[in-house]
Amino acid sequence: MKTIITSPTKEVVIGTGHPFVIIGERINPTGRKLLGKEMAAGNFDRVRQDAIAQVQAGAHMLDVNAGIPMADEPAVLAEAIRVVQSVVDAPIAIDSSIVAALASGLEAYEGKALVNSVTGETERLESVLPLVAEHGAAVIGIANDETGISHDPNVRFAVAQRIVERAESYGIPREDVIIDPLAMPVGAVHGAGATFIELVRRIRSELGVNTTCGASNISFGLPGRPSLNAAFLSMIIGAGMTCAITNPLEEEMMKAILGADALMGHDENCQAWIAHHKKQTASNGNGRGRRARRPRSASSGQ
């Protein structure tokens, strides 16, 4: 099953057998007070910089969020999307919990967007899915509902199934629904990683849809988060996950993703892995990370 997301000049294919799609997470004011303050004031310089840096680092798509307290989120989100599309060609995941902001973002977007997100609550489904259908967008469905986030994988699967079926009832094809089974912090929820992998496999085999997640959630509250996130990404790619919202500026995670793609046969002739290695080697050769060899001394006997 292939989910196709587009900008005016670029098409990204999310699906089994295709390279893992990296959705850059950094254009999000949550936890970034300065970014939020600047966006609310109409200053999008940092948004431009983050968009360019993430694409240069290897992001295929960008998540854009404008969840700023007391700000006009619909207006800010629409402007952020216009700004991002003016500097990069990467397709966008329009990220908001406010339906009016999603509507504003979809109106501003050029191409086929990914809406992030809809949950399994009836009210939420009835407000977001018609909007997705109207704009011919794809949507991320998150596997929780009115009862919250269940630790039982069967309950989360049932919510995912309900989202897929309700989307189809609104004319949204199954290939345009991507399910987020919810990565819970392993430091707080015993077995969260294994449960997540079980859900990825089951959603792929029984519902036939693509899956995604916020990859860094798995390591919340633990030390050495990049290493844990990298291990997690390798495992979920092996289990069949096809895209994730993550930070492409974290080199350890980028290597894990590219390595998993190469090992899974999703990187033809390992071209992406080789290109990334060459890029890193060239960067190190410019004086960053490579120590110059000390010349031999005639008196040293070496």
Query: Quick one: tokens of 160?
Result: 């995912």
User: Sheet of 177-180: strands edge to edge?
Assistant: 210-211, 177-180, 138-142, 114-119, 92-95, 61-65, 21-27, 243-246
301 is a domain residue = no
pLDDT (tens digit per residue) in 56-108: 999 999 999 999 999 999 999 999 999 999 999 999 999 999 999 999 999 99
Arithmetic mean of pLDDT over the chain: 94
User: What is the rounded CA–CA span in Å between residue 97 and residue 21?
Assistant: 23
Tally of structural domains, the chain: 1
Full-model pTM: 0.93
User: What is the rounded CA–CA span in Å between residue 209 and residue 200?
Assistant: 10
Query: Quick one: tokens of 237?
Result: 């790619």
Query: Quick one: tokens of 31?
Result: 């936890």
Q: What is the CATH number of the domain that holds 277?
A: 3.20.20.20
Residue 92 phi/psi, 5° resolution? -125, 140
Contact status, residue 64 vs residue 85, Cβ threshold 8 Å: no
Contact status, residue 256 vs residue 273, Cβ threshold 8 Å: no
Q: State whether residue 161 is helix, strand or coil.
A: helix
297 is a domain residue = no
The separation between the first and the last C-alpha atoms of the chain, rounded to the nearest angstrom, is: 62
Contact status, residue 232 vs residue 257, Cβ threshold 8 Å: no
294 is a domain residue = no
User: What is the rounded CA–CA span in Å between residue 33 and residue 267?
Assistant: 38
295 is a domain residue = no
User: What is the rounded CA–CA span in Å between residue 217 and residue 185?
Assistant: 6
* Burial environment of residue 101 by CB neighbours within 10 A (0 to 12, 13 to 18, 19 or more): buried
H or E element that contains 60:
none
Q: Return the higher-pLDDT residue of 297 and 139.
A: 139
pLDDT (tens digit per residue) in 31-42: 999 999 999 999
Expressed as residue numbers, the domain containing 84 is: 2-285
User: What is the rounded CA–CA span in Å between residue 231 and residue 177?
Assistant: 26
- How many C-beta neighbours within 10 Å does residue 74 have? 20
- How many C-beta neighbours within 10 Å does residue 291 have? 7
298 is a domain residue = no
pLDDT (tens digit per residue) in 257-287: 999 999 999 999 999 999 999 988 888 876 4
299 is a domain residue = no
173 is a domain residue = yes
Q: Is the pLDDT of residue 289 over 90?
A: no
- Report percent pLDDT > 90 for the chain: 92
291 is a domain residue = no
